[in-house]
Structure 1
Amino acid sequence: MDLGLKGKRALVMGASKGLGRSIADALAADGVAVAVSGREQASLDKVAAALIAAGAPKAVGITADVSKVEDMDRLADAAIAALGGVDILVLNHGGPPPCTALEMKESDLILWFQSIVVSPIHIAMRLLPAMRAQKFGRIITVGSSGMEQPIPNLALSNTLRAAIVGWNKTLANEVAVDGVTCNILAPGAIVTDRTRQTSSGQAQREGKSVEQVMEERGKTIPAGRYGLTDEYGPMGAFLASERAGYITGSIIRVDGGMVRHV
């Protein structure tokens, strides 16, 4: 199926590895010019080279730190300069450290509010006017199953990502008439450095290896296993495409059935 992505330009944040990288790979394979961001230029340069090899007509790496709002303006400017504009924005960032709701500190809330809420909204607002003017735009947020079913011991993530759910739905309703869609792509348990990190605490407490913990958790998922990044990214490419123009304000799950409610 032709997704109608050739000639489009995307900025994928947090794309040096993991879920962001999987979306960048899928976009590149469909002929999208891609700017990828992260904190290490050397890693980004390697990703950009791989994206070009995969089919991207152009790919560039741009360093940026989501904890600094001024970096969001610089990132937007650099992506526009490199690609000539941004039609597709993928919002992604690292997750906060595990903690319970009782352990959560106000200082951590304030610190991570910048990365999870303020910076993503800031760069979206920076790029949105051009999308609305051209009557095409896609804003895709890499989310979490905790947005719908809070994850034990991830209180910071559960709390702050809920704000993005409200923002995404509100914005989607305001800009749909302009041909701009806003969706959240929510992974379940997918094998990444992040899922290994969140499993390590349990592994230490129970005297098990991280692999044992992940295998046991995988058996509790209806699919019977963790997902792979290659099973996540292609849905991001579809949501970015012309074929997904009537999907907006939604949370799309890629979780093997892990979220149990309808």
Structure 2
Amino acid sequence: MRVMRWLLCGLAIVVGLVAFSWRDTFEPDSLSGARVLLTGASTGIGEQMAYHYARFGAQLVLTARREAELQKVAQRCLKLGAKKAVYYAADMASPPESEKLAHFALQNLGGLDYVVLNHIGWTPFRMWDGDVDHARWLMQVNFISSVAIASAALPDLAKSKGSLIVISSLAGRIAMPFTSIYSATKFALEGFFASLRNELVMQKKDVSITMCVLGLIDTESALNKTKGIVNQEAAPASEAALAIVKGGATRAMEVFYPWTTQLICGVRDWFPAQRDWILRDSYNYTTN
């Protein structure tokens, strides 16, 4: 009985914290004219974030690998109300591209208020098969390039008292099946930017860092990978994108979407064996 009371008390605290953190203090006018560098902007959550920033009147530099798709997104952003929307096609597997991108954004916007690190490299949704070469490539795309972009942009963000917004995942807080290397890159992002946040405070540099922890989102890529494997309903990409934009604008330390991700993270260490059993049970997997 005593254990049950403590469990209920803990759950009540977590739910209370979730409710408190979801207060909407966002002011749309704060993004009017804001200078935003957004990576991974050609599709999915990145594309939806671009449209939200455009509606709020931001100035945008968009980047992804596919130039034709980027051009379409930039054109739509202008129609939706963006004060400026230009694009830079870049492959983050190439180390020099990260610094070039940051310089391009500074030249075109005259400074930066927000840097949104949303890009990811393709990775199969399957059990670890020993492909170390792919692991090296994905770490460069998902992690090293983000560190390089942030490092190049930090001096200007310090001048503008700007914000870094880092798109992470529930897989960056809890190790999940079928995502070993993807999960490793997200854990790396979480570790680096959490450490950097503390260092910036210690150096009295007013740059906020918002970590965004996302669950399964209904992007075409995610749905194609997890179809028939994951027993979970996907959350809408447009709503996830809006939550990220608002969280960055209000300088939140963390954004969780959907809200259940915060609950899961809050109780992840209470019952580790039961947690992992629940995780495994949410997958359709049979041995041959």
Which TM-score tier does this pair reach, normalised by the shorter chain? 0.7 to 0.9
> Counterpart of 2:223?
196
**Rg: which structure is higher?**
2
Is 1:254–2:262 an aligned residue pair? no
> Counterpart of 2:193?
168
Aligned residues: 236
How far apart are the structure 1 equivalents of 2:264 and 2:212? 17
Is 1:98–2:106 an aligned residue pair? no
What's the offset of the Cα at 1:123?
0.8
Show the 5 A alignment for 1:92-171: 92-95=118-121, 96-101=123-128, 103-134=129-160, 136-171=161-196
CA contact (8 A) 2:125 2:226 kept: no
What's the offset of the Cα at 1:79?
1.4
What's the offset of the Cα at 1:256?
4.6
Describe the superposition over 1:12-68 as per-residue Cα deviations: whole angstroms up to 9, x where unpaired: 001001011122221111111011101122111110111111111000111011111
How far apart are the structure 1 equivalents of 2:140 and 2:265? 30
> Counterpart of 2:214?
187
Is 1:228–2:236 an aligned residue pair? yes
Question: Which of residues 25, 33, 42 is equivalent to 1:7?
Answer: 33
Kindly report structure 1 stretches of 4+ aligned residues shifted beyond 6 Å: none
The amino acid that maps onto 1:173 is N
CA contact (8 A) 2:172 2:185 kept: no
> Counterpart of 1:221?
none
- % identical aligned pairs: 25
Residues 80 and 261 of structure 1: CA distance in aligned 2, closer, same or farther (over 3 Å)? closer
Higher relative contact order (CA 8 A, sep 6+): 1
- For the residue of structure 2 that corresponds to 1:15, the secondary structure is coil
The amino acid that maps onto 1:198 is K
After superposition, the CA RMSD in angstroms is 1.8
5+ residue gaps, structure 2, are 1-25, 267-288
